Structure 1
Amino acid sequence: MGGSGEDNLLMFETFPHVALTKTYSMDSQVTDSAAAGTSMLTGVKVNSGVLGCDSRVTKGNCTNYRSDTKLKTILHRFIDEGMSTGIVTNSRLTHATPASAYAQSPHREWEGDVDMPFSSGFSSGDGEIEGEEEGEEEERMESRDHPCKDVDDIAKQLVMNNKNIKVLLGGGRRYFLDNTTVDPETGREWKRDKRSRNVRGRYVWNRKQFQAVDPGDTDYLLGLFDSSHMAFEIDDENRTQPNLVEMTKKAIEILQKDKKGYFLLVEGARIDFGHHANSAATAISETLELDQAVAAAVRMTNAGRRRQDTLILVTADHSHAFSIQGYAPRGNDILGEDKRDKWWRK
């Protein structure tokens, strides 16, 4: 993939401090991103599938969803202190890891109103919107009677409850549209809020618009670059979307104007998707993209006062297994055939 081989180091492998973490959730030996993200950003272990709520809330159960079970994240604490915040991801902005920074929900998949348990539609495991099976509609409660009636979908929480997040870049436009809006004419509520507060906000939905954004003249930036997750880096041949490096740099350029400081969450989300698809090339490509984003962040914060005052943490909310089998010679193409001599194969 362009590296020097076995002795090559990723940028974050050269950091002065390296550690291992053991990941598990309150109710599962193997955590998911919602529980892991919530734990990292709040310091509290929670149940798998749950966002921003303590262990009294279980996945899909709204019985204990109330003010005293909701958790405050480090992002919210930065906002409370008057500092700037941002989220960058190449997944949907409502997906589990980015949502763990701002949302409080008993179910990570309640990304839009159509996904709510009292909705007339629901989201299947792959995110496609499906209709009701015959008889299901009668079984669903009216929203006003449903035990989850006080739970807002994740997209609504982002727009209505988190208006002070200054940079939001990722995918997931479909969750910010109503059923009368033609994609990509979205971001209306977000833009309306920024106008009402007389702040300089920009909404963009493609790479050309994104590149035209002047950080010096922008206080708030919302970018929704795909209906669902953004494209894999190796698949975006036409470069219609900004990549993770470009989004990270733009976010820092905007946020670092705040002299009090800032918090930025950057997620290389598509690494996970590459592993799920059993595609080594995709997973490696996305890892290298994240590494370049980390390198860009280090360069941009490695001067003057920022060098002493900036903490960069690189971690996975959970890991995937990636093993290399056999005894291939040094320098062997990690995606190619084993070039060993035949005698070694016996």
Structure 2
Amino acid sequence: MKKLVLAALLLTAPALAAPLKTTASAEPTWKKSEAELAERLKTPGANARAKNVILIVGDGMGISTITAARIYEAQKKARAAGGTYPGFEGGEENLLSFERLPNRALVKTYNTNAQVPDSAGTASAMTNGAKTRIGVLGINPGQGPQTCATPAEFPTPLARLARDRGMGVGIVTTTRVTHATPAAMYAHAPSRDWEGADRDYGAEARKSGCPDIASQLIAFPGGMDVVLGGGLSKFRPRADEKGAGRDDGRDLIAEWQKANPKGSFVAAAPEFRALDPRSKTPVIGLFNASHLDFAVDADRQKEPSLAELATFAVRKLQSRPGNKGYVLMIEGGKIDHGHHLSNAYRALDETAELSEAVAQVLKLVDLKDTLVLVTADHSHVFTMAGYPPRGNDILGLIRPLPGGEGGGKTDEAGNSLDQKGRTMPTLGYANGPAEVRVGSRVLNSDKASTDPDFLQPKTFQTASESHGGEDVALFAGGPGSALASGTIEQSTIFHIMAHALGWE
């Protein structure tokens, strides 16, 4: 009887025989992450094995973003319900869907050469198991363009490790699928900007011989099961001299379709919604020439929502033949873009969109066999301050608490004034632009603070708001999630996933 049970377990478990082989294992941060993992292996549940892993990244989703977004989400639902939202007095009691996962840790995000990181270095840490420099993708800290001549020396990224073990692999993002965070799953690039053979990967840089990121995605060994997001211009030839697109004449989508004659390529929401996720053939969906639009600006007849994309990818990977499990990355990338504009409305709305996507994913998966990790690559210089009362509109102006903190001068509407006589919103930034454009819309600080196009005040005016360097949160549920505890290096997230999948 014991032999039969063992045989059944072996048939359903991930492949355990193939040890990790990657050049990243010689890096100091790899060894530090191994030590952090070892410290946690005696935790109850730490050695539970997962069949599947879903890594969900809220790009730029720092702690202050999570706090403000949970209030924003509740207040948005209350407005939609006519002003009442049972159980939530003002929104502060709310929890985003992923905050209900049982385990959590704080994550240190610095790059090997930068106190405040970027998405390329941080995503590489999570998908390669060791930290690296700012601005590079899937390469070790000491490597540069010359390593493209000997690609076997690059570290092996998460998607390749999974595919080599016969697992399904997928990517979902609201950015270009060649952008820093999703690209870290599969690509190696001395510069995150080398996304396509276009103006951002110039002639001088191409002398390195490094393939652009889009071509690496199409050439991914074994192919991806599902890729959904934006960035079509990185795959298609330039239509004219002024337009975006590849200048090498290659049509990577046509090349992919030739190699996958039964595969499906879609570029609009109706075509996507007509697909059957149970189909056994691969899918690429690219719904914008560049990044997808912010949810508040999007035309849902052209672009599906993040929740639609995420649930389709999960269903597709669940139906993949072979029953060997899967690894999926889901990125809410536009949170970061809203923050870079210093536009809290769009940043928080995108966080609520991610929360909805996670809620839908959690309905589809079984946490008995699927490890779900939700985290951020980095934070932003985003603040929530000023003693507003409970229930105050999170996007609104600060009003003083009766007889409490934050007293002082007010305007006729009862809003608190600073020492220069200016009203103050609850949300602000340490730096950012004075005015920006989103499509045909002009965003600035002249509008009401609750206007979607309002830019928060900032201490310093810069062309783009910057990342923050503080720790971010990791939320975890499922087999191996007990390893998410304390304060860890960002590269340890990779080791948590690898351990749960039995890749020692």
Using the size of structure 2 for normalisation, the TM-score is: 0.58
Amino acid aligned to 2:271:
Q
Distance across 1 between alignment mates of 2:373 and 2:252: 33
Q: Does 1:88 align with 2:165?
A: no
| Aligned-residue offset at 1:257 | 1.2
User: Per-residue CA shift, 1:24-71, capped at 9, x if unaligned?
Assistant: 1111111111111111011111111111111112xxx41344335311
Please list every run of 5 or more consecutive structure 2 residues that lacks an aligned counterpart in the other structure: 1-71, 75-87, 246-250, 409-504
| Aligned-residue offset at 1:342 | 7.5
Distance across 1 between alignment mates of 2:221 and 2:134: 23
Partner of 1:260: 324
Q: Does 1:63 align with 2:127?
A: no
Q: Does 1:19 align with 2:79?
A: no
Contact 1:177 1:183 in 2 (8 A): no
Aligned to 1:323, what secondary structure does the other structure show?
strand
Contact 1:56 1:64 in 2 (8 A): no
Partner of 2:254: 188
| Aligned-residue offset at 1:266 | 0.2
Q: How does 1:172-211 map to 2 (within 5 A)?
A: 172-179=231-238, 187-195=253-261, 200-211=262-273
Contact 1:6 1:331 in 2 (8 A): yes
Partner of 2:190: 106
Runs of 4+ residues over 4 Å off in structure 1: 115-118, 180-186, 341-344
* Alignment match of 1:249 (pick from 311, 316, 319): 311
Question: Would the alpha carbon gap of residues 48 and 172 (structure 1) be closer, same or farther in structure 2, given more than 3 Å must change?
Answer: same
Distance across 2 between alignment mates of 1:292 and 1:218: 27
Q: How does 1:114-193 map to 2 (within 5 A)?
A: 114-115=198-199, 118-119=202-203, 140=204, 146=207, 148-149=208-209, 151-179=210-238, 187-193=253-259
Larger radius of gyration: 2
Contact 1:173 1:186 in 2 (8 A): no
Between Structure 1 and Structure 2, how many residues are aligned? 310
Amino acid aligned to 1:8:
N
Contact 2:310 2:330 in 1 (8 A): yes
Aligned to 1:236, what secondary structure does the other structure show?
coil
Query: Relative contact order, CA 8 A, sep 6+: which one is greater?
Result: 2
| Aligned-residue offset at 1:340 | 3.8
Aligned to 2:264, what secondary structure does the other structure show?
strand
Distance across 2 between alignment mates of 1:337 and 1:290: 26
Contact 2:268 2:302 in 1 (8 A): yes
* Alignment match of 2:137 (pick from 39, 51, 54): 51
Amino acid aligned to 1:176:
F
Q: Does 1:297 align with 2:381?
A: no
Aligned to 1:188, what secondary structure does the other structure show?
helix
Using the size of structure 1 for normalisation, the TM-score is: 0.84
Distance across 1 between alignment mates of 2:109 and 2:182: 18
Contact 1:26 1:46 in 2 (8 A): yes
| Aligned-residue offset at 1:105 | 0.9
User: Per-residue CA shift, 1:176-218, capped at 9, x if unaligned?
Assistant: 01235999997211111112xxxx4111101111100011234
Contact 2:174 2:230 in 1 (8 A): yes
Partner of 1:287: 351
Distance across 2 between alignment mates of 1:322 and 1:118: 34
Contact 2:215 2:252 in 1 (8 A): no
Partner of 1:132: none
Distance across 2 between alignment mates of 1:183 and 1:328: 46
Partner of 1:337: 397
Question: Would the alpha carbon gap of residues 34 and 299 (structure 1) be closer, same or farther in structure 2, given more than 3 Å must change?
Answer: same
Distance across 2 between alignment mates of 1:193 and 1:246: 27
User: Per-residue CA shift, 1:291-316, capped at 9, x if unaligned?
Assistant: 111111111003xxxx3110000010
Amino acid aligned to 2:116:
V
Question: Would the alpha carbon gap of residues 171 and 207 (structure 1) be closer, same or farther in structure 2, given more than 3 Å must change?
Answer: same
Contact 2:269 2:300 in 1 (8 A): no
- Aligned-residue identity in percent: 39
Q: For the aligned residues, what is the CA RMSD? A: 2.2
Distance across 1 between alignment mates of 2:362 and 2:303: 23
User: Per-residue CA shift, 1:91-132, capped at 9, x if unaligned?
Assistant: 00110000000001111000111246552xxxxxxxxxxxxx
Distance across 2 between alignment mates of 1:116 and 1:332: 44
